[in-house]
């Protein structure tokens, strides 16, 4: 599943090719995504331009603006495309005329002859329309702070964990606590902080939460930075935003020796997700 760094890399990869471009055509080959593609999507988009793309958690927000932005008269924002990649989705830039594949469900044909193409084999992602007068969308309103922002720190984790008996790993992965710390990066951050993922969230000290917040920021920032070398993948017919090439220390390495102490890494299931940890280094 694409996690926050993969989604951020997608945003950075497609932004230079779509921001400010007029949408000339919308092609929907399969509307039955997790949220059905709006029937009037073409009517809303064609003739308008895409504004500055933003990311909130794992959602991409594409503002749709009027032509006025090009004339310097002040843009009129018509609404926002809310895009989620789900478990297997990808967005990439391909040239007009490149034949779509079996799982290429939505195309936005741009004025320069390029296409923003959405592929999603499992169809768990979606593209939805948010009107300007809708106010805050409930999918966004309930989200916690961004993990690399100043609003996320050890104090927040400590305060929200008091009295919580759930294991610390699913607590850290709760989007109401902090967004975007998915399975891979939660596993890595807990290892860096030396915290056993099975420990009750409410039984961890402020000092150890300070270390965990710092570790989460470090591992996510590193993953996003490494994504910079993959941006070319979004301007090709074969580009896929896979997981970053990085040396993961625990995720996916159960049964192998810990790179820090040599003990065998163990695997448990927490919150219906596999969790790998070192029983010697994490406590």
Binding residues for DNA: 103, 122, 164
Q: List active site positions.
A: 2-3, 58, 273
Question: If you ran DSSP here, which 8-state letter would residue 195 be given?
Answer: -
Considering only CA atoms, which of 105, 113, 99, 13 is closest in space to residue 55?
13
Residues for the chain: how many in total?
A: 283
What residues does 276 pair with on adjacent strands? 267
Query: Do residues 6 and 87 make contact, with C-beta atoms less than 8 angstroms apart?
Result: no
Binding residues: 103, 122, 164
Token pair 């331009």 is at which residue?
49
Query: Do residues 158 and 190 make contact, with C-beta atoms less than 8 angstroms apart?
Result: no
Residue 221 — φ and ψ, nearest 5°?
-60, -40
Considering only CA atoms, which of 99, 90, 91 is closest in space to residue 122?
90
Residue 264 — φ and ψ, nearest 5°?
-75, 130
Query: Do residues 182 and 3 make contact, with C-beta atoms less than 8 angstroms apart?
Result: yes
């Amino acid at each position: 599943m694409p996690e926050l760094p993969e989604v951020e890399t997608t945003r950075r990869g497609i932004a230079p090719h779509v921001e400010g471009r007029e949408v000339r055509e919308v092609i929907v080959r399969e509307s039955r995504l997790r949220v059905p593609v709006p029937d009037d999507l073409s009517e809303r988009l064609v003739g308008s331009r895409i504004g500055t793309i933003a990311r909130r958690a794992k959602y991409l927000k594409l503002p749709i603006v009027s032509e006025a932005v090009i004339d310097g008269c002040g843009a009129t924002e018509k609404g926002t495309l809310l895009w989620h990649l789900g478990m297997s989705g990808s967005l990439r830039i391909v040239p007009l005329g490149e034949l779509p594949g079996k799982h290429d469900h939505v195309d936005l044909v741009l004025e320069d002859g390029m296409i923003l193409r959405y592929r999603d084999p499992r169809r768990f992602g979606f593209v939805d329309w948010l009107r300007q007068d809708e106010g805050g969308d409930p999918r966004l309103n309930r989200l916690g702070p961004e993990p690399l922002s100043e609003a996320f720190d050890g104090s927040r984790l400590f305060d929200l964990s008091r009295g919580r008996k759930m294991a610390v790993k699913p607590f850290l992965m709760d989007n109401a606590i902090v967004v975007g710390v998915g399975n891979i990066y939660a596993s890595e951050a807990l290892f860096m902080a030396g915290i056993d993922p099975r420990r009750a969230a409410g039984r961890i000290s402020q000092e150890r939460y300070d270390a965990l917040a710092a570790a989460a920021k470090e591992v996510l920032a590193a993953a996003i930075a490494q994504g910079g070398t993959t941006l070319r993948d979004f301007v090709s017919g074969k580009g896929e935003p896979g997981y970053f090439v990085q040396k993961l220390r625990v995720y996916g390495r159960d049964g192998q020796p810990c790179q820090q102490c040599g003990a065998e890494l163990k695997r448990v299931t927490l919150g219906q997700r596999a969790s790998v940890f070192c029983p010697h280094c994490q406590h």
